[in-house]
């Protein structure tokens, strides 16, 4: 928490240096598994994303890449300011909707088929990918920690997988034989044509959907590399869980887009493609093991069954026969997937029920075993319901979200809510409590309370291993029920 306060103060001062004003609110945004801290901060209509990170070399790489991409008119956030000492920067706010969160939302209402609107955004992202890979031509001298996806980079990833997943998960292996296979695998991968920009973490959480377009973030780990790695990263993104038929369609789309820029030997591309799927999945498994088993962040463990499922799809690839010990190890892992596949939706110990409501119809009653929880009164906040243009929309609609996000009072209110709820969540998790209820009330139960409930659900889901159930009582009374899922 002390470290987060340091980051909060840092971005607030940087905002003041750039705008001449101190922000009316500074709200933490859940980030990735890295040490970077993200905040949304603003005053009136001047809203920015602040980033604080003490790794100056990584910051330098991100800013350098961003300037290059902006010159090439690629869709990345504008840079509004940076720290002269190199500890952080301010960026354009691209909202909260990632390709992953959009996919999850659409899947709730479309169980029979993969949503066409989602496929459209995936294709839009894949049409941009070759532009980054071929046209960008960034300054590779700033790449961190390696200038290229070379032998050392690959061995780092494979050993990360070995020590932080295999050993911690109790998977048996012959150390020397596995090392021999790692050497053989890297030799195979290094045969692929290289020299292109490798985004490194081209996955659905790093693709934003803003004003109907795809935008791109978190490319600070970029370096020279092969073409196959990034498309494999996106199509085999664990929790996105794309169907194989969709993967094939999207891969063909990408190859067509790539062919519009450079000649493509598809047979050569596809020869090495399964190997890059494999090394990307193994790298991700290392991350899940380190964050989950080692750092005890159990929500990372929820990605493992999805990654094991992805591994099962390449078990029969002929290239694996050249790596017998690695294939045997993967076989053990995949076998574990078939044991746990029915438990993919791991049931966390703490169930958080978040409800929006109208005070006209009374405060929701907590019927859980020990009862209690929090009730927050949103009626002192700016009310979109007073404006005719917001009468037929709710706190889930973008126009209301944009209105409330710009209100300083809302930012300060949510900041206080987050601090209070986090204290309880941390204690409840330590004490193995099973239920917590949080309710937000406003006049009509349509705008402010809905917005706050959605914001808290998203905030907790990105930071804690909890099961979240979200209900908008007044909306559901008119049209069914709703459940916010964290997958």
Identify any residues that bridge with 22 across adjacent strands, giving them in sequence order.
none
CB proximity list for 211: less than 8 A, separation 6 or greater: none
Among 62, 92, 122, residue at a domain's last position: 92
Query: In this predicted structure, what is the pLDDT of residue 480?
Result: 40
The verdict on residue 202 lying in a domain is yes
Domain count, the chain: 3
Among 71, 92, 113, residue at a domain's last position: 92
Show the domain range for 465: 351-478
- Chain segment 75-94, per-residue pLDDT in tens: 999 999 999 999 999 999 99
Return the sign of the alpha-carbon dihedral for residues 201, 206, 209, 213.
negative
The verdict on residue 487 lying in a domain is no
Query: Does the pLDDT value for residue 2 go beyond 60?
Result: no
- Chain segment 331-349, per-residue pLDDT in tens: 999 886 665 444 334 444 7
The verdict on residue 470 lying in a domain is yes
The verdict on residue 483 lying in a domain is no
Using a pLDDT cut of 90, give the percent of the chain over it: 69
The verdict on residue 42 lying in a domain is yes
- CA–CA separation, 361 and 353 (whole Å): 19
Q: What's 18's domain CATH number?
A: 3.30.200.20
How large is the average pLDDT for residues 44-61?
95
Query: Does the pLDDT value for residue 315 go beyond 70?
Result: yes
The verdict on residue 485 lying in a domain is no
The pairing of beta strand 223-225 with beta strand 196-198 = antiparallel
HEC readout, 326-374: HHHHHHHHHHHHHHHHHHCCCCCCCEEEEEEEEHHHCCCCCCCCCCCCE
Identify any residues that bridge with 224 across adjacent strands, giving them in sequence order.
148, 197
CB proximity list for 74: less than 8 A, separation 6 or greater: 128, 131, 132, 135, 136, 216
Instruction: Answer yes or no: do 302 and 339 share one domain.
Output: yes
Instruction: Answer yes or no: do 42 and 140 share one domain.
Output: no
Q: Which of 414, 403, 408 is nearest to 354 (CA)?
A: 414
Instruction: Answer yes or no: do 335 and 358 share one domain.
Output: no
Q: What's 107's domain CATH number?
A: 3.90.1200.10
Per the CB < 8 A criterion, the answer to whether 92 and 80 are in contact is yes
- CA–CA separation, 341 and 335 (whole Å): 10
- CA–CA separation, 163 and 191 (whole Å): 26
Query: In this predicted structure, what is the pLDDT of residue 1?
Result: 42
- Chain segment 149-198, per-residue pLDDT in tens: 999 999 999 999 999 999 988 889 999 999 999 999 999 999 999 999 99
- Chain segment 380-431, per-residue pLDDT in tens: 999 999 999 998 999 999 999 999 998 989 999 999 999 999 889 988 888 8
Chain position carrying tokens 């209110």? 413
Query: In this predicted structure, what is the pLDDT of residue 369?
Result: 61
Among 42, 77, 92, residue at a domain's last position: 92
CB proximity list for 166: less than 8 A, separation 6 or greater: 173, 289, 329
- Chain segment 351-386, per-residue pLDDT in tens: 899 999 999 988 887 766 666 789 999 999 999 999
Provide DSSP, 398-459. Answer: HHHHHHHHT-HHHHHHHHHHHHHHHHHHHHHHHTT--EEEEEEEESSSSSHHHHHHHHHHHH
- CA–CA separation, 296 and 283 (whole Å): 18
φ/ψ of 396, rounded to 5, equals -95, -10
Query: In this predicted structure, what is the pLDDT of residue 338?
Result: 61
Interhelix angle 304-312/266-289, nearest 10 degrees? 150
């Amino acid at each position: 928490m002390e470290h987060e306060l340091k980051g909060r103060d840092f971005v607030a001062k940087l905002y003041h240096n750039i705008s001449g004003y101190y922000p009316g609110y500074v709200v933490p945004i859940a980030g990735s598994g890295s040490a970077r801290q993200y905040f949304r901060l603003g005053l009136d209509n001047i809203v920015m994303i602040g980033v604080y990170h003490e790794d100056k070399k990584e910051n330098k790489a991100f800013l350098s890449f961003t300037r290059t991409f902006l010159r090439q008119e690629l869709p990345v956030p504008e840079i509004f300011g940076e720290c002269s000492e190199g500890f952080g920067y301010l960026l354009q706010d691209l909202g909260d909707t990632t390709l992953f969160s959009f996919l999850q939302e659409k899947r709730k209402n479309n169980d029979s088929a993969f949503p066409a609107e989602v496929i459209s955004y995936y294709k839009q992202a894949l049409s941009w990918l070759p532009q980054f890979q071929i046209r960008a031509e960034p300054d590779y001298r700033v790449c961190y920690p390696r200038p290229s996806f070379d032998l050392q980079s690959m061995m780092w990833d494979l050993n990360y997988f070995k020590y932080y997943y295999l050993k911690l998960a109790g998977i048996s292996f012959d150390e020397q034989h596995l090392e021999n296979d790692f050497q053989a695998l890297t030799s195979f991968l290094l045969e692929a044509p290289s020299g292109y920009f490798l985004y490194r973490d081209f996955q659905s959480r790093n693709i934003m959907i803003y004003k109907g377009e795809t935008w791109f973030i978190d490319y600070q780990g970029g370096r020279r590399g092969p073409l196959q790695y990034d498309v494999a990263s996106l199509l085999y993104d664990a929790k996105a869980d794309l169907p194989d038929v969709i993967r094939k369609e999207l891969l063909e789309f990408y190859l067509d887009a790539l062919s519009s820029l450079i000649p493509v030997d598809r047979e050569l591309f596809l020869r090495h493609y399964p190997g890059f799927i494999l090394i990307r999945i193994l790298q991700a498994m290392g991350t899940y093991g380190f964050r989950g088993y080692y750092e005890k962040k159990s929500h990372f463990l929820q990605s493992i069954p999805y990654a094991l499922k992805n591994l099962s799809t390449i078990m029969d690839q002929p290239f694996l026969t050249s790596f017998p010990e690695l294939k045997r190890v993967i076989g053990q892992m995949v076998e574990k997937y078939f044991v746990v596949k029915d438990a993919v939706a791991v049931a966390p110990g703490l169930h958080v029920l978040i409800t929006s409501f109208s005070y006209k119809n009374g405060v929701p009653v907590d019927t859980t075993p020990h009862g209690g929880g929090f009730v927050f009164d949103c009626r002192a906040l700016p009310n979109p319901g007073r404006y005719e243009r917001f009468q037929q929309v709710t706190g889930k609609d973008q126009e209301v979200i944009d209105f409330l996000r710009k209100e300083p009072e809302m930012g300060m209110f949510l900041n206080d809510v987050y601090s209070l709820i986090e204290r309880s969540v941390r204690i409840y998790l330590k004490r193995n409590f099973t239920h917590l209820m949080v309710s937000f009330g406003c006049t009509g139960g349509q705008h402010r309370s809905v917005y706050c409930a959605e914001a808290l659900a998203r905030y907790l889901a990105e930071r804690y291993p909890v099961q979240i159930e979200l209900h908008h009582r007044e909306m559901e009374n008119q049209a069914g029920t709703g459940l916010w899922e964290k997958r």
